[in-house]
Amino acid sequence: MRLAIMQGESAVLDAATNLSALRDAAVRAGERGGELLLSPELFPVGYAPRVLRRDLDPASLPSLREELAAIARDTGIALLYSLPEVEGGKWHITATLLSAEGTVLSHYRKVHLFGAEEQEVFTPGTDPAAVVRFGDLTLGTIICYDVEFPEAVRAAGLQGVDLLMVPTALGEGYSQVPQRLIPTRAMENHLYLAYVNHAGVEDGFRLSGGSVVADPFGELLAEGGPETELMIVDVDPARLAAARADVPYLAERRPDLYRAWGL
């Protein structure tokens, strides 16, 4: 499968501009043979939790989701996007996977909220990675800070995920996450891991770019710079099989023993 990674700068609360950028990325990805386009955390509305809570009208969210589905349908490419979701007065950070026909394939609520601002605005989800079959691969979704917890990625690996998709909003000063942690998570769980970040400044917050895709051997197949860009990576089932046969971490786990250790 050919995967496209959209690293972009979002305009806070300017959905029209952000959706135009997404549509353009989808068109360009399709021209390069992309089958699935990944976009960053909260990209259609911008990453600015307190501003969103104060000024974003929840009534606008259904129409935004319809417009995102239209992008998938019009360009013929599957799309992973992230938006706030408001239910029962509670706000969540979510990620939704659409088919190339604009149909919802999976939907996920972020479990681990990062920092005081997110924790003030949003309510954490409780479910593990959203997992779905896509062609000959099993895809999973978590969001940003979730990937920094080994349990979240291990749960995805144990569900048979081949490609774990992680929209994020990573600020400057944390380059060890994409450069060190992401390859390790991919290797220890025998999966591809795509970590897609913003670039630029949103509501005074400087986002670092540096999106990466790691393969199941822990090799980085793509590394973004600090600016906006579109990266294309091929996900190879044969590479997955080779990694899983080489050092079978998941098959050789000893969960009964770990429980005895209090884990």
Distance CA(178)–CA(181), nearest Å, equals: 6
Question: Among the options 9, 110, 118, 202, which is catalytic?
Answer: 110
Distance CA(203)–CA(15), nearest Å, equals: 15
Active site residue 110: yes
Active site residue 90: no
The beta strands (E) that lie in the chain are given as: 2-7, 36-38, 78-87, 90-98, 104-109, 130-134, 137-141, 163-167, 192-196, 199-202, 205-208, 212-214, 220-223, 229-234
Q: First vs last Cα of the chain: how many Å apart?
A: 36
Contact predicate 113/137, CB 8 Å: no
Contact predicate 176/248, CB 8 Å: no
> Which residues is 252 bridged to in the sheet?
none
Question: Among the options 9, 41, 85, 118, which is catalytic?
Answer: 41
Question: Among the options 9, 85, 118, 144, which is catalytic?
Answer: 144
Active site residue 172: no
84 φ, ψ to 5°? -70, 155
Active site residues: 41, 110, 144
